[in-house]
Structure 1
Amino acid sequence: MTDARPAGYRRSTGSPRGEARRRELLEAVTDDLAANGLAGFSLRRAARAAGTTHKVLLYHFDGAEDLLRQAVQQLRARRIGKGMAAAAEVSAGRPLAERVRALWPVLTGTEAMVLHQAMGLAMYDPDRYAELARGATTQYLPGLMSLCPEDWTERRKAEVAGMILATLRGFLLHSLLGGDAPDSSVDAGFDALARALDREEAAAE
């Protein structure tokens, strides 16, 4: 990911037409990222995926790392949107644990490995890739807070959402790494999480 903006290149001015084109390019690059992962990512690979040239991408994005950061954020936003849609299918008034469990099939979808690769890069080389992870928590928390009972305080929602996010991240990492009976371990973990969430709901009544 060494492609950088040569001197003389300028950013898209943000006109409606330019912004629409930028979104179109970003969607295509995000599709490629979801399918092929981070390994070997470059402006030229992104340009092939978007059906354009790397010079066009440099007009709209500030180099390969900026494009990668935005594509990772877009991929994460897609995942959150699908997760919230899955949770919304659980009838209102059902236990919070059931709504959280509905997220799991989405979290283990095709984006999971790519987003973990991004987090790994951010930890391995924070000087270059910290932006791939920065903001991840703030992207996830609003959706998780929205699953909590409406009559909870914002502080309580934030605390419980933070617990849910940290727990699901642990489950997902365990599942991705494999090991002894990862599915059984995750199932047992969900049972424990459900009991914790049930206690939170009971305490708030």
Structure 2
Amino acid sequence: MDEDAPEKVGYRRSAGSARGEARRRELLERVTDEVGANGLVDFSLRRAARAAGTTHKVLLYYFDGPEDLLTQAVLQLRERRIDRSLAAADLADSTLAGRVRAMWPVLVGDESWVLDQAIGLAMYDSARYAELARTASVRYLPALISICPPDWPDERKHQVSEFILAVLRGFLIEWRTSGDGPGIESGFAALSRALDHEEART
């Protein structure tokens, strides 16, 4: 049978097939690229199908409708952002403050506006898109924990990472709503002092 035959709805039906899963990932990558470039407004299966070079019926074979496909694409964008952030942190100096500071240009990079739209969508229509907001902390928190000094106890890593995440979210909102670069830089100076103080008491 043709792997693209849209006879059933839901990609989970093809999860047992390596070929089917590879096809699903290929389609998702193409849709994710399109969402990253054009945002979430007016997203539809037909728009996604054009980007993926297929039909909306084929997408319905691999995904559980437009909300599922959009959620999967946003999660994919978020994973890309986290991976790039950690790569930037790895190239920074050895201090926690330096690693956090190095992540910032990635967090406000080209696709950041789309991820901001996703959080807004989750707040506006939580019944349909709550997962977009829930998964943000679930994914970003472990990334921040991973850049904390390795000799810190787990509880301390978690507490400091929660603090960093909350502050960065505030900076992101400020960046998106006011574009106050100097104000954010002042905030980063204060955040760096706090993190340097925390690290110095090790």
Q: TM-score normalised to the size of structure 1? A: 0.91
Q: What letter is aligned with 2:195?
A: L
Q: Distance in 1 between matches of 2:27 and 2:83?
A: 20
User: Is the counterpart of residue 17 in structure 1 residue 19 in structure 2?
Assistant: yes
Amino acid at match of 1:203: R
Q: Distance in 2 between matches of 1:86 and 1:10?
A: 36
Q: Does residue 175 of the first structure (1) align with residue 175 of the second (2)? A: yes
Per the alignment, residue 116 of structure 1 pairs with 116
1:194 is aligned to: 192
CA-to-partner distance for each residue in 1:150-200, whole Å, 9 max, x for gaps? 000111111111111111111111011126xx1100100000000110111
What amino acid sits opposite 1:191 in the alignment?
A
For 2:120, give the aligned amino acid.
G
The one-letter code matched in structure 2 to 1:187 is E
Identity of aligned residues (%): 62
Question: Which consecutive unaligned segments of at least 5 residues does structure 2 have?
Answer: 1-5
Partner of 1:184: 182
Residue number among 90, 96, 100 corresponding to 1:88 in the alignment: 90
User: Residues 57-105 of structure 1, C-alpha deviation per residue, up to 9 Å, x if partnerless?
Assistant: 00000000000111110000000000000010124xx211011000011
Q: How does 1:44-55 map to 2 (within 5 A)?
A: 44-55=46-57
CA distance in 1, matches of 2:38, 2:85: 22
Aligned residue pairs, count: 195
Shift of 1:21: 0.5
Whole-Å separation in 2 of the counterparts to 1:133 and 1:105 = 21
Structure 1: gaps of 5 or more residues? 1-5
Aligned AA for 1:16?
A
Secondary structure at the residue paired with 1:135? helix
**CA RMSD of superposed structures (Å):** 1.5
CA distance in 1, matches of 2:10, 2:130: 25
TM-score (norm 2): 0.93
Residue correspondence of structure 1 range 1-205 to structure 2 within 5 A: 9=9, 11=11, 12-14=13-15, 15-91=17-93, 94-178=94-178, 182-204=180-202
2-side partners of 1:172 and 1:103: how far apart?
12
